[in-house]
């Protein structure tokens, strides 16, 4: 009641007090630097005592570390990832406005901060303390206000000290060992309904922020930058400050020993958006980078395909309606709409166009290539006709070289961190001794073999395969006139046939895929094109095959319906 200033964020006058004595806004949860002055007559008459604005972190008895929570660790990871994305050219407001608000909303929804802590959790922690330390706990303890301060000046979380003390008693008196205060309880609690935070979910947060801002970075690019080391993810705990001791069960939470998976990150992003009750995302319009027409230009350039194919991809996108705003824009929680994977969708459109023009049945495309080769020999105008066979040989050579390089880098990757990690205090001395032995052996072998040149981190680039226009191996300017014919004022394919990848789609919710893909069941030309885009997007070919099947069924929906109806009548 004594503090009547308006909130700097929402202009409301609705203040509450944290346990540290700071004022916070009950409307927008903004924490101020102002503290409450309290008159304490029990201590000394006619004297005023100001409460401590922030409880100092309790220093551990050994190791010189301090108390920290698992959510603090994830907040630090998100901060480092956002800074890395900003260094790559992402809009600066992503970190301070979008990602920060998403994180605050998650902490509030999962009841970790910005809310009244459920009394059950406090009582549970205190009951554990009582059973292990024989200390009487308060049976009717009120719920505690647990607030977070995400300001840059503090750099850590303003946690509830009374709850921290009880949690530290739990961690000290249980056999489970961890560096964080709540590491053991974090893994023991069943938090499926609360969407418990994991390392892959940090990438889901980043992708959700990128999608909200409609940044020109797809999910496949984000994961590729992670693998290349431009975005902290693998061994990210090396960036933790020294006072945040990481050991024991914390390693199961923050130590990652596998590459991020596209499907897992994408599905967690959808779950997060629904869990946070986010509104409809900003519209993905035709001038947005995530629109199929825009992404098709990028992938046509990277796949070294003719520029004229873009006209055909635009026609396919328009005909089946996958370029509409309502189809492309994410609406969290709407189960009736299919969630779009923008990069996979664009790659699938290009493959469908290649099938429309070249059939990709291991026969027709080679016939067209031979005809184009003869025309190029007799061509005096200077323009080149597109030869599928020559394109296949050039791209296959570059693809094999890059794939081999990628496989070698992944095989040589050292998953173990140079900093020794241990799961328990008992094993600490053994781990340190073993680590020292490994370092000594490496130094001895290094003197015998000579200095080993470490592979340099590649510069971040949106393109993995680059083709110079001046090079004869570049097919961007090649013409498709040799395989097209004019019909009713429109250019159409000379090929009247088309083969479908599947006649009937599977239930994606039950099978996990719209169609099943096995290499032996499809032509080698089709498999090569799938393999090319699988390398560019760093995903399994089966996921691209699913999108191809979905586009084909939208494109030939009427013909398929008539065929299925005719077959049903014949069976009757």
- Calculate the CA dihedral of residues 265, 266, 268, 272 and round it to 10 degrees: 130
- Domain membership flag for residue 54: no
Do residue 405 and residue 322 come from a single domain?
A: yes
State residue 69's pLDDT score: 86
Long-range CB pairs of 171-178, under 8 A, 24+ apart, other chains included: 173/128, 173/129, 173/132, 173/133, 174/128, 174/132, 176/248, 176/249, 177/247, 177/248, 177/249, 177/423, 177/424, 177/425, 178/247, 178/248, 178/249, 178/250
State residue 236's pLDDT score: 85
- Domain membership flag for residue 472: no
Do residue 532 and residue 409 come from a single domain?
A: yes
Do residue 106 and residue 200 come from a single domain?
A: yes
Do residue 357 and residue 218 come from a single domain?
A: no
Helices 541-555 and 309-320: angle between axes, nearest 10 degrees: 70
Do residue 516 and residue 485 come from a single domain?
A: yes
Q: Which of 500, 225, 252 is nearest to 355 (CA)?
A: 500
Do residue 317 and residue 348 come from a single domain?
A: yes
- Domain membership flag for residue 156: no
Do residue 388 and residue 314 come from a single domain?
A: yes
- Domain membership flag for residue 147: no
- Domain membership flag for residue 61: no
Q: Are the C-beta atoms of residues 249 and 187 closer than 8 Å to each other? A: yes
* Rounded Cα distance, 480 and 113, in Å: 60
Q: How many helices (H) and strands (E) does the chain have?
A: 21, 9
pTM, 2 dp: 0.77
State residue 148's pLDDT score: 34
Cβ within 8 Å of residue 106, ≥6 positions away: 195, 197, 205, 272, 275, 276
Q: Mean pLDDT over all residues of the chain?
A: 78
* Rounded Cα distance, 374 and 506, in Å: 44
State residue 114's pLDDT score: 80
* Rounded Cα distance, 126 and 30, in Å: 30
Domain count, the chain: 3
Do residue 268 and residue 293 come from a single domain?
A: no
Q: How far is CA 416 from CA 128, 255, 280, 433, in A?
A: 35, 9, 41, 16
Do residue 18 and residue 80 come from a single domain?
A: no
- Domain membership flag for residue 296: yes
Domain extent, residue 269, equals 67-113+194-278
Chain segment 74-131, per-residue pLDDT in tens? 999 999 999 999 999 999 999 989 999 999 999 988 888 887 754 334 434 433 333 3
Q: Structure tokens of 492?
A: 């159409």
Do residue 412 and residue 489 come from a single domain?
A: yes
Choose the final residue of a domain: 257, 278, 299. Answer: 278
DSSP H or E run through 423: none
Do residue 92 and residue 209 come from a single domain?
A: yes
* Rounded Cα distance, 87 and 471, in Å: 32
* Rounded Cα distance, 532 and 300, in Å: 11
Cβ within 8 Å of residue 67, ≥6 positions away: 57, 58, 60, 159, 164, 168, 181
Give the mean pLDDT per block of 10 residues along the chain (572 residues): 74 77 76 64 45 46 67 93 95 92 92 65 39 35 30 36 41 53 73 77 97 95 94 87 79 87 95 94 94 96 95 95 94 85 97 95 93 86 87 95 91 70 61 69 69 65 82 86 80 84 74 80 95 95 93 82 47 42
State residue 45's pLDDT score: 46
Residue 439, classed as helix, strand or coil, is: helix
Q: DSSP characters for 346-377?
A: HHHHHHHHHHHHH--SSSHHHHHHHHHHHHHH
* Rounded Cα distance, 15 and 25, in Å: 5
Do residue 385 and residue 247 come from a single domain?
A: no
Chain segment 243-300, per-residue pLDDT in tens? 887 777 888 888 888 899 999 999 999 999 999 999 999 999 999 999 999 999 999 9
Q: Are the C-beta atoms of residues 226 and 264 closer than 8 Å to each other? A: no
- Domain membership flag for residue 356: yes
- Domain membership flag for residue 467: no
Sheet holding 31-35, edge to edge: 15-17, 22-25, 31-35
Q: ∠ at Cα 98 (97, 102), nearest 5°?
A: 115
């Amino acid at each position: 009641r004594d503090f009547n200033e308006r909130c700097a964020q929402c202009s409301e006058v609705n203040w509450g007090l944290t346990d540290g004595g700071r004022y916070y806004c009950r409307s927008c949860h903004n924490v101020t630097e102002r503290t409450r002055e309290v008159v304490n007559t029990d201590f000394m008459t006619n004297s005023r005592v100001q409460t401590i604005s922030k409880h100092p972190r309790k220093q551990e008895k050994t190791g010189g570390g301090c108390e920290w929570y698992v959510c603090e660790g994830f907040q630090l990871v998100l901060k480092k990832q956002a800074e890395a994305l900003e260094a790559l050219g992402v809009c600066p407001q992503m970190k301070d406005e979008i990602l920060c608000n998403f994180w605050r909303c998650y902490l509030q929804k999962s009841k970790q901060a910005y809310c009244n802590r459920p009394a059950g959790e406090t009582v549970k922690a205190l009951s554990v303390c009582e059973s292990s330390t024989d200390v009487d706990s308060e049976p009717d303890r009120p719920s505690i206000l647990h607030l977070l301060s995400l300001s840059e000046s503090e750099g850590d979380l303003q946690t509830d000290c009374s709850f921290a003390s009880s949690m530290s008693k739990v961690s000290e008196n249980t056999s489970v060992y961890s560096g964080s205060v709540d590491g053991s309880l974090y893994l023991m609690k069943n938090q499926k309904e609360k969407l418990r935070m994991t390392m892959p979910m940090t990438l889901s947060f980043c992708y959700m922020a990128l999608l909200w801002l409609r940044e020109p970075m797809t999910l496949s690019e984000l994961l590729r930058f992670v693998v290349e080391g431009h975005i902290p993810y693998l061994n990210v705990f090396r960036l933790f400050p020294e006072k945040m001791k990481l050991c024991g069960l914390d390693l199961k939470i923050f130590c990652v020993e596998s590459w991020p998976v596209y499907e897992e990150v994408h599905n967690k992003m959808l779950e997060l958006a629904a869990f946070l009750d986010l509104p409809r995302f900003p519209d993905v319009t035709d001038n947005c980078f995530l629109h199929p027409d825009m992404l098709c230009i990028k992938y046509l350039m990277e796949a070294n395909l003719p520029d004229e194919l873009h006209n055909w991809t635009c026609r396919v996108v328009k005909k089946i309606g996958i370029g509409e705003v309502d189809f492309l824009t994410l609406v969290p929680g709407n189960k009736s709409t299919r969630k779009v994977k923008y990069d996979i969708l664009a790659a699938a459109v290009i493959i469908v166009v290649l099938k429309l023009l070249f059939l990709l049945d291991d026969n027709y495309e080679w016939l067209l290539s031979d005809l184009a080769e003869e025309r190029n020999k007799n061509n005096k105008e200077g323009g080149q006709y597109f030869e599928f066979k020559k394109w296949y040989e050039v791209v296959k050579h570059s693809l094999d070289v890059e794939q081999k390089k990628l496989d070698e880098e992944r095989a040589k990757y050292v998953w173990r961190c140079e900093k020794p990690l241990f799961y328990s205090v008992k094993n600490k001395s053994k781990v340190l001794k073993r680590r020292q032995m490994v370092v000594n052996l490496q130094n001895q072998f290094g003197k015998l073999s000579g200095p080993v040149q470490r592979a340099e981190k590649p510069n971040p680039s949106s393109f993995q395969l680059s083709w110079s226009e001046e090079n004869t191996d570049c097919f961007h300017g090649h013409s498709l006139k040799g395989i097209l014919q004019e019909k009713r004022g429109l250019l159409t394919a000379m090929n009247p046939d088309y083969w479908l990848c599947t006649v009937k789609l599977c239930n994606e919710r039950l099978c996990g895929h719209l169609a099943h893909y096995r290499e032996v069941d499809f032509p080698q030309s089709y498999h090569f094109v799938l393999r090319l885009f699988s390398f560019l997007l760093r995903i399994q070919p089966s996921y691209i095959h699913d999108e191809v099947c979905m586009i084909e069924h939208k494109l030939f929906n009427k013909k398929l319906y008539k065929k299925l109806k005719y077959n049903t009548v014949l069976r009757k």
